[in-house]
Amino acid sequence: MGVKKAIKQVCVTALFVALGTVTAMAADAGQASGTDVNVRAEASKEAGVLGKINKGTEFEILDKDGSWFEISYKGESGFVSKDYFEVTKADAVIDGSSVNCREKASTSAGSLGKFADGDYVCVTGQNDGWYRISYKGGSAYVSKDYVDGDYVKYTAKIANETAEASKVTVYGVVTADGGLKLRKEASMLSDVLTVLPKGTEVNVDRVGQEWVRVVTDGGLKGYVSAEFISVREGVRTTRSTGSGNGSAVVSYGKQFIGTPYVWGGTNLRTGVDCSGFVYSVYKNFGITLNRNSAAMASNGVEVSKSNLQAGDLVFFNTGGDSKISHVGIYCGDGTYVHSTDGKGNGVTVTDLNSGYSARTYVTARRVLR
């Protein structure tokens, strides 16, 4: 029986008690190591492409097939080359008795406690001879000599972690459909400070296996359930001052050029209408917009046509009246990508400043701020 199967079997029959805290298993997960990484139908470079993924979004790891990771992708399995994928969370067990859990990756670092043989840990990275693990709302380190797991060796290398920490922004995106309660303490019995709507972004102060401590843009600090927040690294999607994120949105949207127009459709592969296309593209980046084009015009902030950036939403009046009836995503080069039932018939790229588009243009909104 493999290590992973053994871990899961133990998990089904019991919960590990580590350092006095009952800890449940977490799924192995990983993310693309760059942008526009192909997810293929089979473990082969010749296999069909199911879609593309970007760094910052985690996917559950189902298995490993040679040099390919099998991941859960949009309700089905897909394969990503290990050259473009890094493990962010790996299930593991302690192999040894009275194993020190240390503050830093050094035998001279203070001990936070000791693990018993068979205790469960979640590995989030590695540094020379050490694995970084999730521990009581933060991170700790355990010598590699005492950690056993199928995917731990594929976790990201943490080179000079303390020096890089100040350069990396860690933030979270609320994924709960009904919103997420921000509590004063890490307890279901603690007071609720506010409810964060789905898609809300918050700065992450500390990450634990069950609770994440966050700070809202309004300055509220509290705890949210780790189950309903996606923790990411990099520039916050809705607070970017540059066009880098907008370019990623455009790149992602353009891969669906040719998808047919379907009224009311939101499936980027089988059919979308204009707002369904924009809605689904932004949904991939953790941003939930209003569903139809007229309502979508209230998202974000207004921007002039002369100051458009890649990723901005552009709106049109195609019905001959004053109502907004069409929307697309500005590409940054005088064109926009959109889904149309007109001459283009589906997802296509059109010149913004000539012909019908120029005559019917109404306004633009920026949701990447």
Q: Which residues are catalytic?
A: 274, 326, 338
Task: Determine the Cα–Cα distance for residues 278 and 266; give it in Å rounded to an integer.
Answer: 9
Phi, psi of 205 (to 5 degrees): -100, -35
List CB contacts of 55: < 8 A, sequence separation 6 or more.
31, 32, 33, 34, 35, 234
Six-digit token pair at 4?
A: 């992973």
Query: Which residue's entry shows tokens 């843009």?
Result: 217
21-25: list long-range contacts, CB under 8 Å, 24+ apart.
Answer: 21/136, 23/120, 23/209, 24/209, 24/210, 25/91, 25/120
Instruction: Return the axis-axis angle of helices 274-283 and 244-254, rounded to nearest 10°.
Output: 120
The residues that bridge with 143 in the sheet, in sequence order, are 130
> Residues near 223 by Cβ (< 8 Å), separated by ≥ 6?
182, 183, 184, 185, 186, 187, 190, 211, 212, 213, 214
Q: Which tokens belong to 298?
A: 């209230």
Which among 92, 193, 105 is positioned nearest to 143, based on CA atoms?
Answer: 105
DSSP bridge pairs for 93: 120, 148
